[in-house]
Chains A and B, each alone.
Chain A
Amino acid sequence: AQSVTQPDIHITVSEGASLELRCNYSYGATPYLFWYVQSPGQGLQLLLKYFSGDTLVQGIKGFESEFKRCQTSFNLRKPSVHWSDAAEYFCAVGAPLGGSQGNLIFGKGTKLSVKP
């Protein structure tokens, strides 16, 4: 069964610093991979997604992620963090095939704090 691990529960970075949020997945084939962001009191917004092709994916708000099959990772990166990026970030995996096709499995989330 597929699963997602986000090892960091809470990360604090300084405004302007670079950011990398970790995500590891478990799935037998190439999964569909997603990053969502949840601002306080809000629903989830899609940042980026990967299905196939180029392993470096660009998303909204200056975020990017790289699919690394050998490391089963899909880390989220941003070169310079803004105070408005403070939120909770969720990595999710979807199975391309099977009875639960398209259902997403979410990681437990990483809360990002940004200090001035």
Chain B
Amino acid sequence: EAQVTQNPRYLITVTGKKLTVTCSQNMNHEYMSWYRQDPGLGLRQIYYSMNVEVTDKGDVPEGYKVSRKEKRNFPLILESPSPNQTSLYFCASRAGTGGTDTQYFGPGTRLTVL
């Protein structure tokens, strides 16, 4: 089954404790992206990747890092989480780097930073 998986689905942590949210897709997609969703703000892009070792900032990259060492994986790293990073996070992937292909979303990771 074609899918985007994220782990963990729920995470409660404390300020400053480094964490990683994993994202994996089994569709051999070139493009992957991370979004955060906050009430009243919709989805905002954090980082995206056009291919292995090619990443770029989205609209709200501060406080986040990503890496793309393999085509299927695109982890999101919070080196020193803060309470304003409490949010619902979505990973997404798309076959091509153009805009016409459908973007597939993971189930989401709900992060709480105390």
**A residues in contact (CB < 8 Å) with B:** 6, 9, 32, 34, 36, 42-46, 49, 51, 90, 92, 94-96, 101-104, 106-109
Total inter-chain residue pairs, C-beta < 8 Å? 60
Is residue B58 within 8 Å, beta carbon to beta carbon, of the partner chain?
yes
Interface string of B54-66 (1 = CB under 8 A from A): 0000100000000
Q: How far is the CB of B105 from chain A (nearest CB, A)?
A: 4
B98-A109 in contact (CB<8A): no
B74 within 8 A of A: no
Pick the residue among B4, B58, B101 that contacts A103 (CB under 8 A): B58
Q: Is the CB of A103 within 8 A of B33?
A: yes
Chain B residues with a Cβ closer than 8 Å to the other chain, count: 27
* B7 located at the interface, meaning its Cβ lies under 8 Å from any Cβ of chain A in the complex: no
B14 CB–A CB distance under 8 Å: no
Contact of B108 among A9, A43, A102, A103 (CB under 8 A): A43
Q: Are A90 and B45 in contact (CB under 8 A)?
A: no
CB-CB under 8 A from B103, the residues of chain A are 34, 46, 104
Q: Bound state CA distance, A102 and B45, in angstroms?
A: 12
Tell me the bound Cα distance from A108 to B31 in angstroms: 23
